[in-house]
Chain A
């Protein structure tokens, strides 16, 4: 058990709908990362938050957004869903640093499997 929790475990929805995925990081970790795992794209970095602020963006679609709350949990919002958004979405957390070199190891949650029908 990594200490990172994600809910729900499975989500089945229809095209055009909007869903919210939730992540609670390990106790004390300030950084949260979101990744998408699909058969054709592999594991892709979406976005990072550090202590409530967006820190980096990867291959995240404009239909997707995220935020990190004062209690450090994070939510990933996916809207106008398409069939191609079906994937496993992982959250990871690390202690995080405010700048300079970092050797943070990321610990992953169990993932949310999204199926868009």
Chain B
């Protein structure tokens, strides 16, 4: 079955540091890939997505590239801010058929110090 593996957390960075959060996946077919973010006390917000190999999703300074050869979708940001402190989830959606349920990784907590 489908699965998503995220690097172990938590991650603590200083403001303006470079961020990488690793995500690898196992899937049949050609999944769409997503990063969702959950701020404290809130629901999940879509951060970015990519629907095919070599696509790059980007939003709010975050980027991730769909790498089919390494089955990866690592999240990066060049300079983090305190406001980026949140839990980040990598997810995939099986695009075959009308069932596009999301399979999530365990999530990783990012804390950014001033």
Chain A residues in the interface with B (C-beta under 8 A): 2, 31, 33, 35, 42-43, 45, 48, 50, 55-56, 58, 90, 92, 94, 96-111
How distant is the Cα of A50 from the Cα of B49 in the complex, in angstroms?
22
In the bound complex, do residue A108 and residue B36 qualify as a contact, i.e. CB atoms below 8 Å apart? Answer: yes
In the bound complex, do residue A42 and residue B43 qualify as a contact, i.e. CB atoms below 8 Å apart? Answer: no
Best-surrounded residue of B34, B99, B105, B107 (most CB of chain A within 10 A): B99
In the bound complex, do residue B98 and residue A103 qualify as a contact, i.e. CB atoms below 8 Å apart? Answer: no
How distant is the Cα of A2 from the Cα of B98 in the complex, in angstroms?
22
B46 to chain A: closest residue by CB: A105
B36 shortest CB reach to chain A, Å: 7
B82 within 8 A of A: no
Interface size class of B (residues with CB under 8 A): 20 to 34
Query: In the assembled complex, which residues on chain A have CB atoms less than 8 Å from the CB atom of B97?
Result: 99-100, 102
B44 shortest CB reach to chain A, Å: 4
In the bound complex, do residue B107 and residue A43 qualify as a contact, i.e. CB atoms below 8 Å apart? Answer: yes
A96 to chain B: closest residue by CB: B98
How distant is the Cα of A93 from the Cα of B89 in the complex, in angstroms?
18
In the bound complex, do residue B95 and residue A2 qualify as a contact, i.e. CB atoms below 8 Å apart? Answer: no
Query: In the assembled complex, which residues on chain B have CB atoms less than 8 Å from the CB atom of A43?
Result: 89, 102, 104, 107
On whether A102 and B100 interact (CB within 8 A), knowing A90-B43, A108-B45, the answer reads: yes
How distant is the Cα of A39 from the Cα of B91 in the complex, in angstroms?
17
In the bound complex, do residue B106 and residue A111 qualify as a contact, i.e. CB atoms below 8 Å apart? Answer: no
In the bound complex, do residue A45 and residue B102 qualify as a contact, i.e. CB atoms below 8 Å apart? Answer: yes
In the bound complex, do residue B107 and residue A102 qualify as a contact, i.e. CB atoms below 8 Å apart? Answer: no
In the bound complex, do residue B95 and residue A45 qualify as a contact, i.e. CB atoms below 8 Å apart? Answer: no
Query: In the assembled complex, which residues on chain A have CB atoms less than 8 Å from the CB atom of B99?
Result: 48, 55-56
A98 to chain B: closest residue by CB: B98
How distant is the Cα of A31 from the Cα of B49 in the complex, in angstroms?
19
On whether A2 and B100 interact (CB within 8 A), knowing A102-B95, A103-B32, A103-B95, the answer reads: no
B78 shortest CB reach to chain A, Å: 25
A91 to chain B: closest residue by CB: B43
How distant is the Cα of A9 from the Cα of B75 in the complex, in angstroms?
30
How distant is the Cα of A31 from the Cα of B99 in the complex, in angstroms?
9
B96 within 8 A of A: yes
A45-B102, A48-B99 are known contacts; what are 10 more A-B pairs with Cβ within 8 Å? A33-B101, A33-B102, A42-B104, A42-B107, A100-B97, A100-B98, A103-B32, A103-B93, A104-B93, A108-B46
